Structure 1
Amino acid sequence: MKWSELSIHTTQEAVEPVSYILHEAGASGVVIEDPQDLVKVWEDKFGEMYDLNPNDYPADGVILKAYLPVNSFLGETVEEIKQSINNLMLYDIDLGRNTVEISEVNEEEWATAWKKYYKPVKVSERITITPTWEEYQPVETDELIIELDPGMAFGTGTHPTTVMCMQALEKYLKPADNVIDVGTGTGVLSIASALLGAEQVRAYDLDEVAVKSAKLNVKLNKVHEKISVEQNNLLDNVAGEADVIVGNLLAEIILRFIDDAYKSVKTGGYYITSGIIKGKRDLVKQSLEQVGFVIEETLQMEDWVAIIAKKK
């Protein structure tokens, strides 16, 4: 099959929402080339290893590369992507150059090239994420290993927003807790919850590709008896309460179902939410407090924020 590579020159602020738009449009993979990674002082407390080539990065801004099959609908799909990206300006998101270039790539090259950048990463005190094709031996006796195959679903589990969610789960989730994972993607937060001792996890995603990917990863990690994965829009028609609700989503989406999140979490339980750009932090915090949540803790990694809210 022939594939088209969409190369979008934008800003770091726009990476998450533009990636989401590409995923929703059917992109079969997203590569992020951010030159700030070349000058960043990387923490090594969890044993990460980095080998970055400056030739792979733009001189300014950020380039996102996404892949779409070449078919009769390609032109229409690209125009819809451009329009959706332009609409982000309505949310005061800086798009930078906002240019889109299209080229054709070989399927075999695309299908394997991105894997060389995806290596085992320790994301918290106990949790290490490793791709299924890498061999990894734990270095700590209490280390929890998550094997992940992103497939065509969004995320490898190593983005700052996901990492903060896992660090919060490690701190606040108690053994035998009941968890709801909203917008599960690859299922990594559900798997982390199960490995940390959750008794039951309900994972939801609107995208059927993500649901399939999450189900596969749940089975790969042998936690399918604890986790159920279903296609669903946020918390619509979800019955029953949970001790912990976790959602790694965009701020605009988080604001849509704060009332439902408050109703669905038990008294004394936690709502862990991330995917929030720094500029939207106060808006999300105020909205959480307005419905009755008490802000327990705010985490920040790079330009991203995670908020842990408690239902008193």
Structure 2
Amino acid sequence: MKWTELSIYTTNEAVEPISNILHEAGSGGVVIEDSQDLKKEKKGSFGEIYEWDTDSFSEEGVRLKAYLPVNSFLGETISEIKQAITNLISYDIDIGLNKITLTEVNEEDWATAWKKYYKPVKVSERITITPTWEEYNKESANEIVIELDPGMAFGTGTHPTTVLSIQALERHIRKGNQVMDVGCGSGVLSIASILLGADHVLALDLDDVAVQTTKANMKVNHLVNEITVKQNNLLEGITAQVEVIVANILAEIILQFEKDAFQLLKPDGIFITSGIIQTKKEEVKEALINAGFAILEINEMEDWVSIIARKPR
């Protein structure tokens, strides 16, 4: 089978929404190449070592590589992708150069080559995320290792929005907590919640691919009894009360259910939000306060923001 590689030149701000557009269009994977990474220290803040193929990076901005099967609908799919990306401008998202190039690749080349982009990464004080195909040995007894297979749709949990979410969970999860993961994607935040001491997680996502990917990663990490996965539109129809809700979604989506989150949290409960671009920070903060929350923390990484809020007692 042949695949078409789409190279999309854009901005860091647009990475998350464009990745979602590509996923919904049936992409067989997304690779993110950020020119800013070349300017950073090779050694990360948590000790991870990066190996960059400098020849593959664009000179400025971010390049997303996505993979679509070559079929009779390819032209129509690409047109829809281009239109959806252009429509992001209406959400005040800077899409930058927005240049798209196409290259045809063989399946055997894609199936092996994309894995070189994923290595074990320490994303917080205690948590290391490693792809399932990589061997990794714990560096200390209290280190938590999450094995993740991104499958055909998701990254390995090292995007800044995910890292911010995991670091917030590490600070706020308490032993025995009940958690909801809204927009669970690969399931990495659900898995992290359990390994950090939560008793049970209800993982929700509208996309069946996300549901199936979460189920697969639950099995890899031996957590099939601790996590319940459900295909669901945000918090519609959910009545359970929990101590923690985490949502690594775009700001525009968070603004659709912050009041529902407030209702479903127990008094003193924590709402962890991420996936927020800088230009949306104040809007989300104001919406959370208007819903009744008290803001505990605002954390930033690169161009991304995470806001942690508490429901008063």
Which band: TM-score by shorter chain?
Answer: over 0.9
Verify the 8 A CA contact 1:179 1:198 in the aligned structure 2: yes
Task: Report the equivalent of 2:145.
Answer: 145
Answer yes or no: is the 8 Å Cα contact 1:181–1:203 preserved in 2.
yes
1:155 Cα deviation after fit:
2.4
Contact kept, 8 Å, 1:127 with 1:143, in 2: the verdict is: yes
Aligned to 2:63: 63
User: Is residue 30–residue 153 contact of structure 2 (8 Å, CA) maintained in 1?
Assistant: no
Cα deviations by residue, 1:204-247 (Å, 9 ceiling, x for unpaired): 11111111111010011011111011111111111211100001
Report the aligned-residue RMSD.
1.1
Residues 92-101 or 36-45, more deviating: 36-45
Q: Secondary structure at the match of 1:139?
A: coil
Partner in structure 2 of residue 164 of structure 1: 164
* Alignment correspondent of 1:79: 79
Q: Is the deviation greater in 82-91 or in 38-47?
A: 38-47
TM-score after normalising by structure 2: 0.97
| Deviation for aligned residue 1:54 | 1.9
1:134 equivalent in structure 2: 134
Deviation at 1:43, TM superposition (A): 5.4
- Please give the alpha-carbon distance, in whole angstroms, between the structure 1 residues aligned to 2:265 and 2:41: 38
2:201 maps to 1:201: yes
267-276 vs 114-123, greater mean Cα deviation: 114-123
8 Å contact from structure 1 (residues 15, 64) kept in 2 = yes
2:151 and 2:213 in contact (8 A); partners too? yes
- Any conservation in 2 of the 1:152–1:210 contact (CA below 8 Å)? no
Pairing 1:112–2:115 present: no
Unaligned 5+ residue runs, structure 1?
A: none
**Counterpart in 2 of 1:93?**
93
* Secondary structure at 1:128 match in 2: strand
**Counterpart secondary structure, 2:63:** strand
Q: Deviations over 1:126-150 (max 9, x none)?
A: 1111111111110111111100001
Greater alpha carbon shift after TM alignment, 106-115 vs 289-298: 106-115
Aligned-residue offset at 1:72? 1.4
For 1:28, the equivalent position in structure 2 comes to: 28
Query: Shift of residue 2 of structure 1?
Result: 1.2
**Partners in 2 of 1:43 and 1:233 — Cα distance?**
39
Aligned to 2:103: 103
Say if 1:48 and 1:83 are closer, same or farther in 2 by CA, change over 3 A.
same
Q: Name the CA distance, whole Å, in 1 between partners of 2:56 and 2:281.
A: 32
What's the counterpart of residue 274 of structure 2? 274
Identity %: 62
Q: What is the distance in 2 between the residues matched to 1:100 and 1:82?
A: 8
What is aligned with 2:290? 290
Shift of 1:167: 0.7
- Which residue does the alignment assign to 1:301? 301
Aligned ranges for residues 259-270 of structure 1 at < 5 Å? 259-270=259-270
CA drift of 1:61 comes to: 2.1
Aligned residue type for 1:266: K
- 1:205-224 paired onto structure 2 within 5 Å: 205-224=205-224
* Distance across 1 between alignment mates of 2:148 and 2:280: 30
SS in 2 for 1:174: coil
Quote how far apart the aligned CAs of 1:273 are: 0.7
Going from structure 1 to structure 2, the CA distance change for 1:43 and 1:265 (only over 3 Å counts) comes to: farther
SS at 2:134 equivalent: coil
Runs of 4+ aligned residues of structure 1 deviating over 6 Å after TM superposition are: none
User: For residues 206 and 93 of structure 1, what CA distance do their matches in structure 2 show?
Assistant: 23
Paired residues of 1:155 and 1:185 also in contact (CA < 8 A): no
Aligned to 2:240: 240
Instruction: Check whether the contact 1:34–1:61 (CA below 8 A) recurs between aligned residues.
Output: yes
> How far 1:151 moved relative to its partner?
0.2
Distance across 1 between alignment mates of 2:224 and 2:236: 23
Asked whether the equivalents of residues 123 and 163 of structure 1 are also in contact (C-alpha less than 8 Å), the reply is yes
Q: Which runs of 5+ in 2 are unaligned?
A: none
Q: Secondary structure of the residue that 1:14 maps to in structure 2?
A: helix
Letter in 2 for 1:3: W
In structure 1, distance between residues paired with 2:59 and 2:46: 29
Superimposed CA distance per residue, residues 249-290 of structure 1 (whole angstroms, 9 cap, x where no aligned partner): 011111111111111111100000100011111110000000
